[in-house]
Structure 1
Amino acid sequence: MFVLLSIFMTLPVIFLAGSVAPNAMAFAESAGIACFIGVVGIIATYRQSSDLKPRYMFVLTVSGWFIIAIFAALPFYLSDNNISAADAFFEGSSGITTTGATVFDGLDTMDRDLLLWRSILQWIGGIGIIGMFVAVLPFLRVGGMRLFATESSEWTDKALPRMKTLSRGLLFVYMVISITAVVTYWLSGMTIFDAFNHGLTSIATGGFSTSDLSMGKFNDLILMEATLFMIIGSLPFFLFVRELHGQHGVLFRDQQVRLFLAILFVVPALLTLYRWFVSPVPFDPLHNYTATLFNVTSVVTTTGYASEDYSAWGPLAFVLFFFLMFVGGCSGSTAGGMKIFRFQLSLIILKEQLMRLLHPRAVLTRNYNGRAVSDEIISSMIAYTFIFLLCLLLMTIALAAMQLDFVTSLSGALTALTNVGPGLGDIIGPAGNFGTLPDGAKWLLAVGMLMGRLEILSVVVVLSPGFWRS
C-alpha cells in the first residue's frame, strides 16, 4: 500500500509536467519516504506466512488507514506554504476518507499540484472504501455488514479467485465512470484542470473543489451533471459489476437503492416548494430546484460540494440538512454516513416488535433483499448505532470544551463521523471552512473522519484491552 501510494505521489508533478508544480521537491521527498518504508516492509516480511486471521485483519485495516493518512499529509507539510502539522493531517485525512472538509482558503490561487493531490487522494480513497466494504468489513462482521457478505468476502483459497475477479470488475467500473465524469465536465465548459479534479472527487463523493465557491462557480448544467455523478458514486458498485456480467436489473431491484433514490426524489421537491413559499424575492423554480437537488444530493451522498450557503435557506432547511447528514449512501459505495440499509433494518425491527405486541405467538420472518436477517446482524447494527451516537456525544463535548459554539461543535462532530464535509453555522458551514478552528479540534476531527470511514467499531475493537490479551 505504501509503495503504491508513493507512485500516486508522483502523479501531480507528472500531470503538470513540472513547469507549474512549485512543490515538486515536497512530492519527491514524500514519495521517497513512503516508498522506502514500503520496500523495507516488503523485505522484512518476504516469504513469511500471510495467513490473514480476523485479528490481523482488524489491525491491518485500522493501522493501514491511519498511517496512509499520515503519509497523505506529507506533501502538504513539506511544501513551501507553511502548512502546520495539524492542518496537513486534517487535509490528508479529509482527502483519503473522502470527507471533503478543508482548512484551506484561497483555493482559486492555490498551487495546482497541491489541488491535484487533494483530488487524487479522494479518488484513491474512494476505490479503497469500495474494496473495504465489499471484502473486508463483511468478513469482520462490522456494523451489520455481514448482510452483504459474498463468497468474495471470505479470505479463503477458494474465495480468492472470485475476489480477484470482483476487484478487477470494481476497478474497471470505477475508472470508466471517472473518465466519463472528467470528459462530461470538460465538454460542458470546465477547463481540463477543473474537469479532472471535479471528475475524480464527484465519483469518490469527496467534495474537494478547486475554488472557494466550490461548485457555485459553475452553471446549472454542470450542477445537474455533478448531481448525477454523485448519485452514481453512492450506489453499490458491486451491483454495477453484476450488471456487466449479465445480471440485468439487479441494481434497481435492490431495496437500499430504491429508498435512496426515493429520498433524492421527494426531499428536494418538498424543500423547493418550501423555499418558494417563504421567498421574499422573485423565485426561479427551475434554477432553485437545480440548486436544491444538487445540495441535498451533496449532503445525503456525503460529498460535501456546495453551490450556495444552504444553511441560510431558513429554519426548516437548516434542520433538514442537519438530519440529512446522518443518512449517507448505499453500502458498497464511496459514500459515508450511517447508510440506507441501517434505517431499513430499523424499520423492519420496529414492524416486528409492533406485530409481536399484537400477536405474541406469531412466527415472523425477517428478510432484507431476499436474504434472511440473523440476530447477529441486528445485534451488530445496534452496537454500531450506539457507539456512533456515543462518539458523537463525546466529540461534541470535547469540541465545546475548546470554546466552540454548540452548532459548530455538534455539526463538526457529525460531519466528521459521517464524512459529509462542511458542517453548519457561520464558521464551518458551506460558506466557511475549518481553518479557523484550534489545532486540538483539527486533530480530533481528523481522527473522527478516520473512525467514521472505518465504521467506528473497527477502531473500538483494536483499542479495546481484550483485543491484545491473547
Structure 2
Amino acid sequence: MTLAKASRVQTEATPALDLRPIAATLGTLLSILGASMLLPALADFRANSGGAGAFVGSAAVTIFVGVLLSVSGRGASVPRLDLRQAFLLTTSVWVVLAIFATLPLIWGPPHLSVVHALFESVSGLTTTGASVMTGLDAMAPGILLWRAMLHWFGGIGIVVIAIAVLPALSIGGMQLFRTESSDRSEKFLPRAGAVAKGLLLAYGVLSVLCIIGYALAGMGLFDALTLGLSTVSSGGFANSDSSLGVFADPAVDYVAIVFMLAASLPFPLYVRALAGDPGRLFRNPEVRTFFAIVLVFTVASFLQQVFQGVAAGEVALRGALFTVASLISTTGFMSVDYTNWGPLSDALFFVLMFLGGCTGSTAGGLKTLRLLIAMKAVRQHLKRISYRNGLFPIRYGGAPVADDVVASVLGFVFLYIATFAVVGVALSAIGLDLRTAFSAAIACLSNVGPGLGPIVGPATNYGNLSDPAVVILTLAMLLGRLEIVTVLVLVMPRFWSR
C-alpha cells in the first residue's frame, strides 16, 4: 500500500471530531442557566439585599456566551452525536456550566475567591453539598436560592446521563440499563430526549411532594422550597451553618429521611410507577439490597449509641436513621454531629460513604448495583476454585449478566478505589492529617459532602482548607460525578487521534 493510499484510508477511518453539536448543546444549556439566574436576582431585589445586580450581570454574560455558542454550532445535526462527541460533551457540560455558575458568587455577596467559588459551584452541580461558605443564617436569599437551584439542575442532569448516556458509553456496568431499541448504532441523543421527559416528570413530582412535606412539617415557604430542591437532588446545601439541626424538629427529620431515601432509588422505576406499575419498584433486586444495607447500618448505629450512652429510644433511632439516610443517599444533611459518637461510628460511616444509592438515582457513590455484581463475581470466583468443572453464571434480576458487564463493573470499582487513594495521599502530602485527608477524599469523590473530624466534619466546612486542597477536592467531585472513566478517556491521546 502506498503512503498516499494509507493516509487516505486513515483519514476515512478516523474522521475529524465535529465540535458543532457540542457547541450547540452547550449554548442551549448556558442560555437556560443564564435565564435561571434571574430568579435569585428577583429574590434579592425583593429582599433589598444588594445582590440582584450581580445576578443580572452574570445572567447577561452567560446568555451572551450561550447564544454565541449556539450560533457557532448552527447547522449541526445534534441527533448524529457519536461516542467520541458524547464523552467530550458529558465532561464539558459539567465543567463549563460550573465555571459560569461561579459568576454570582464572585461578583456579588459573598464575593468568594475564584478557587472557592468554583468549589462551591462544582459542589452544587455535582450535588455534593460540601461548602466553603459560612454565615449562611444571615446570607442573602438570592445566594441561598442559587445554591439550591444548582443542586436541582445537577440532580436531573445526573439522572438523565446515568440512564440515557452512560449505558451507551458502557461505563461501570451501566450496559444493564441499555433499553431495547431498533437503532443499534452509537447514536444516543434521540433516546436521551425521550427518556428525559419521563424522568423530568418523576423528578418534578418528587420535588413538589418534598416541598409540601417540609411546609407541613412547619418550615417557612422559602426554607421548604430551597431544602426541598436540595433533598430530592441528594445535594445537601442548607440555609444554616447548622444544616437541618437548626430546626431541632423530629417532623423535619422524618420528612428529610423519607425523601433522601426516595431520591436514592432508580428514577426509571418512578416513571414506571407513574405509568401504573408501582410494584416494580419493590421487586427490583437493587432496591431490596439498598434497603437491607440501610437497615443493617441503622441498627448498628442505634446499638452503638445506646451502649455508649450517647442517646436512647426514639432519639437514638431517629439520629441513626437520619445519619445513615443522609450518608448513603450522599445528601450530607446534618441533624446531629455524629462525629461525637465515637470511633465505631466513624468506621461505620466511613464505609457508608463509599456505597451510595441506586443506579439511576441522584445519589453518588459506587452504587448498589455495582456492589451486587461485584459480590456475585467474587462468589463465582470462589465457586470456580472449589468446583473447577462447574458452571456458575452471574445473574441479575433472573437474567444472565455478560462477562463484559462484569469486567466493566470490576474495572470501575478498582478505578474508584484507586482514585480515592490518590486523592487521599495527595491531601496528606500537602499537610492534612490522615482522618481529614481520606474522609474528605471519599466525601467529595462520592459526592457526600461532609467528611469526618473537626476540620471537614458535619459541624464545620471546607473553608479552612488551603487553595491546593480545595482544587484537589474540586477535581475529585467532578471525577466522582462523571464516573471517572468519562474524564480519564479524554486525557488519552488515542481518544483524539482515533
Superposition TM-score tier, normalisation by shorter sequence: over 0.9
Consecutive unaligned residues in structure 1, runs of 5 or more = none
Is 1:55 matched up with 2:78?
no
Counterpart of 2:290 in structure 1 is 260
Is 1:28 matched up with 2:52?
no
C-alpha deviation, 1:384, in angstroms: 1.2
TM-score, normalising length: structure 2: 0.91
Counterpart of 2:304 in structure 1 is 274
Of the three residues 330, 345, 354, the one matched with 2:382 is: 354
Counterpart of 2:271 in structure 1 is 241
Is 1:139 matched up with 2:177?
no
Identity %: 42
Instruction: String of CA shifts for 1:297-326, please: whole Å, max 9, x gaps.
Output: 100110000111101101111110111000
C-alpha deviation, 1:163, in angstroms: 4.3
Counterpart of 1:316 in structure 2 is 344
Distance 1:430 1:71, change over 3 A: same
Of the three residues 133, 155, 158, the one matched with 1:126 is: 155
Counterpart of 2:419 in structure 1 is 391
Distance 1:360 1:157, change over 3 A: closer
Question: Contact between 2:230 and 2:237, CA under 8 Å: does it hold in 1?
Answer: yes
C-alpha deviation, 1:43, in angstroms: 1.0
Question: Contact between 1:52 and 1:155, CA under 8 Å: does it hold in 2?
Answer: no
Distance 1:466 1:79, change over 3 A: same
Question: Contact between 2:171 and 2:408, CA under 8 Å: does it hold in 1?
Answer: yes
For residues 380 and 162 of structure 2, the distance between their equivalents in structure 1, rounded to whole angstroms, comes to 28
C-alpha deviation, 1:253, in angstroms: 0.9
Instruction: String of CA shifts for 1:378-408, please: whole Å, max 9, x gaps.
Output: 1111221122122112111211122111111
C-alpha deviation, 1:271, in angstroms: 1.5
Counterparts of 1:412-427 in structure 2 under 5 Å?
412-427=440-455
Is 1:431 matched up with 2:448?
no
For residues 163 and 272 of structure 2, the distance between their equivalents in structure 1, rounded to whole angstroms, comes to 13
Counterpart of 1:302 in structure 2 is 330
Question: Contact between 1:18 and 1:24, CA under 8 Å: does it hold in 2?
Answer: no
C-alpha deviation, 1:20, in angstroms: 3.5
Aligned residues: 468
Distance 1:21 1:142, change over 3 A: farther
Classify the secondary structure of the residue corresponding to 2:419: helix
Counterpart of 1:116 in structure 2 is 145
For residues 191 and 154 of structure 2, the distance between their equivalents in structure 1, rounded to whole angstroms, comes to 23
What is the CA RMSD across the aligned residues, in angstroms?
Answer: 1.8
Judge which range, 208-217 or 77-86, deviates more. Answer: 77-86
Is 1:67 matched up with 2:106?
no
Counterpart of 1:92 in structure 2 is 121
For residues 153 and 92 of structure 1, the distance between their equivalents in structure 2, rounded to whole angstroms, comes to 39
For residues 153 and 124 of structure 1, the distance between their equivalents in structure 2, rounded to whole angstroms, comes to 31
Judge which range, 83-92 or 271-280, deviates more. Answer: 271-280
Compare CA radii of gyration and give the structure with the larger one.
2
Classify the secondary structure of the residue corresponding to 1:394: helix
Distance 1:444 1:158, change over 3 A: closer
Consecutive unaligned residues in structure 2, runs of 5 or more = 1-28
Of the three residues 169, 183, 189, the one matched with 2:218 is: 189
Question: Contact between 2:165 and 2:188, CA under 8 Å: does it hold in 1?
Answer: no
For residues 427 and 278 of structure 1, the distance between their equivalents in structure 2, rounded to whole angstroms, comes to 24
For residues 243 and 462 of structure 1, the distance between their equivalents in structure 2, rounded to whole angstroms, comes to 37
Is 1:222 matched up with 2:246?
no
Of the three residues 465, 482, 498, the one matched with 1:454 is: 482
Letter aligned with residue 481 of structure 2: R
Question: Contact between 1:6 and 1:32, CA under 8 Å: does it hold in 2?
Answer: yes
Distance 1:152 1:203, change over 3 A: farther
Classify the secondary structure of the residue corresponding to 2:463: coil
For residues 162 and 139 of structure 1, the distance between their equivalents in structure 2, rounded to whole angstroms, comes to 10
For residues 10 and 32 of structure 1, the distance between their equivalents in structure 2, rounded to whole angstroms, comes to 10
